[in-house]
Chains A and B, each alone.
Chain A
């Protein structure tokens, strides 16, 4: 299952100095809430992406702790102020401590 979990990130790759850049992200993940029952009436154990973290050139921008109330295939968007060229690194971590990362270069021109 974890093979088809893939983060997708949409962000402009060129920016003016100091520009506020919107980052849109989506990771394909079922986000089992722990509330759902399978065909036999047994609860499906909780397995969600519980943490999201964003850094730019290694400096923290934002992070989020997610609860089961986040939809399947969690879509998250936020802003980052780009003062210099650099790499936006995003990390998603699930309940099993499995994590996925994505790196995007943003150039200031």
Chain B
């Protein structure tokens, strides 16, 4: 614990930025509506990364039901797995189906991770669904999705 709390400064900087770019953000959202990703493009993006027919289960997405500020929506994605050499999560892909581009992040893991759970903060341009797809080392694929309502979109800033 010899490091400073990482969130304090980050949050402050993010707030300052969000305030400063408020107008730009609104313009960005309006522009984004024209060229938004669709559930289809999100599915295509995921399908290109994870081969196979995904089954429901194993993957869980934690995110706020309503996000007031789409500039930084905290999201936790976890995949049930022992994370041993025999059975582990190989990759985890996250998409958002209402952003200008569907991709959010694409993770890969080794058994050394011990637990396939990650947190990140996501920009969401509008109310939309987050979709997570996990690839296991045996080739099976699991999927989960979760809708997040966004009050102020965050793609311009």
| Interface bin, chain A | 35 or more
Question: Using Cβ atoms and an 8 Å threshold, which residues of chain B touch A10?
Answer: 1, 3-6
**A47 on interface, CB distance cutoff 8 Å:** no
A71–B107 contact, CB under 8 A?
no
Interface residue? A36 (CB, 8 A): yes
B117 lies within 8 A of A78 (CB): yes
* Contact yes or no, A72 B14, CB < 8 A: yes
A37:B24 contact, CB within 8 angstroms: yes
A24 to B6, CA, bound (A): 8
Task: Say how far A109's CB is from chain B's closest CB, in angstroms.
Answer: 15
Q: How many A-B residue pairs have CB under 8 A?
A: 154
Q: Determine the residue in chain A with the shortest Cβ distance to B107.
A: A64
Main secondary structure of the interface of A (DSSP, over half): strand
Knowing A35-B31, A72-B72, A76-B119, the reply to whether A26 touches B6 (Cβ < 8 A) is yes
| Interface flag for A45 (CB, 8 Å) | no
Query: How far does the alpha carbon of A28 sit from the alpha carbon of B9 in the complex, in Å?
Result: 9
A108, CB-defined interface residue at 8 Å: no
Which of A56, A59, A81, A104 has the most C-beta atoms of chain B within 10 angstroms of its own C-beta? Answer: A81
Chain A window 5-46, contacts with chain B (Cβ cutoff 8 Å), 1 for yes, 0 for no: 000111111000000100011101010010111100000000
* Interface bits B77-110 vs A (CB < 8 Å: 1, else 0): 0000001000000000000100111011111111
Query: Could you mark each residue 49-71 of chain A with 1 if its beta carbon is under 8 Å from any beta carbon of chain B, else 0?
Result: 00000001001111111111111
Residues of B contacting A13 in the complex (Cβ-Cβ under 8 angstroms):
1-2
CB distance from A73 to the nearest CB of B (A): 4
A75 partner, pick from B3, B108, B110, B119, beta carbons under 8 A: B119
Residue from A12, A67, A77 in contact with B118 in the complex, judged by beta carbons closer than 8 Å:
A77
CB distance from A78 to the nearest CB of B (A): 5
- A residues with CB within 8 A of B: 8-13, 20, 24-26, 28, 30, 33, 35-38, 56, 59-81, 104
Would you give 24 A-B contacts (Cβ < 8 Å), ordered by A? A8-B6, A8-B9, A10-B6, A20-B115, A24-B119, A28-B10, A36-B156, A62-B107, A62-B110, A64-B106, A67-B103, A69-B99, A69-B103, A69-B122, A69-B123, A70-B105, A70-B121, A71-B121, A75-B7, A78-B118, A79-B114, A79-B115, A81-B112, A81-B115
